[in-house]
Amino acid sequence: MHSGVDAQTQLDGEQRLLSVPRAAPTLALWEATPSLIVGVREMRAPRAIPAAAKMAAAGWPVVVRRSGGSAFPLAAGVLNISWITQAPSNIDVGYRQFCQAIIRALEPFGLPISIGPTPGSFCDGRYNLMVDGQKIAGTSQQWRRLPGNQVRCLYHCGLLVDVAAPDLVDAVNCFYREAEAPADSAVDAAVIAAMSDFSPTCTVNNTASLLRRVFAEITHNIPTENLQRQL
């Protein structure tokens, strides 16, 4: 697992993996130094640029990703799961497979993990992982079309394993406030939690071990229709 590297370097590494044609499915587990990942739209807020400078000075450099989506904080204790493989038949099928694999990996912790939207959370979507209604992870996908009619997919999950969730929320809200983003961008700290809030035995290292085991199994058992899918 890679840790202690800045977010931009880690995200660039993901993009390189996604661009390798005919590569075997690849799992990357990584942590990054504190940073805020924001979408291009958020950088159009009236004072986004000075806000980004202020966040950097406060130890939260802002990294702009090319895609959409809203701000997501990275820090030690946030385990990033990057899974690069053939694209699924559609995005919903892919999300369900990816989320179920993570839930299966985390079963030993005994947490009642569900999948769904978490209104008020940062970077909300339909396929968050939640415990008791609190978001512990967000997921996303990026599809890349490569020569030879190949479609590869980068699944990403930012899993709050062992981190002070209120600090992450504060960082996101500070950026939004300074950027003069729309008021409804504000994140509700009550809907965000880390796995360690529910189970003190959760650490980045033991979580990563469980994930490696399950994704290794999946590598040898990818549904045939996905392998043969041509878009």
Partner 1 sequence: MTDVIVPNDMWDDDREGVIVSWLYLSGATVTEEEVLCEVMVEKAQSDLLSPASGVLTIVEEADAIVSRGQVIGRID
Residues that bind partner 1 (CB under 8 A): 40-41, 66-69, 89-95, 123, 125-127, 138-145, 231
CA–CA distance, 8 with 12 (Å, rounded to integer): 6
CA–CA distance, 74 with 33 (Å, rounded to integer): 7
Instruction: Point out the catalytic residue in the list 123, 153, 157, 202.
Output: 123
**Shortest CB 213 distance to partner 1, Å:** 26
- Token readout for 219 is 């590598």
The nearer residue to partner 1, 88 or 204, going by C-beta atoms, is: 88
> 3-class SS at 20?
coil
CA–CA distance, 230 with 1 (Å, rounded to integer): 32
The nearer residue to partner 1, 34 or 158, going by C-beta atoms, is: 158
Whether residue 123 lies in the annotated active site: yes
**Shortest CB 201 distance to partner 1, Å:** 30
The nearer residue to partner 1, 152 or 178, going by C-beta atoms, is: 152
Q: Cα dihedral angle (103, 106, 112, 115), rounded to 10 degrees?
A: -20
CA–CA distance, 165 with 85 (Å, rounded to integer): 30
**Shortest CB 156 distance to partner 1, Å:** 9
Active site residues: 123
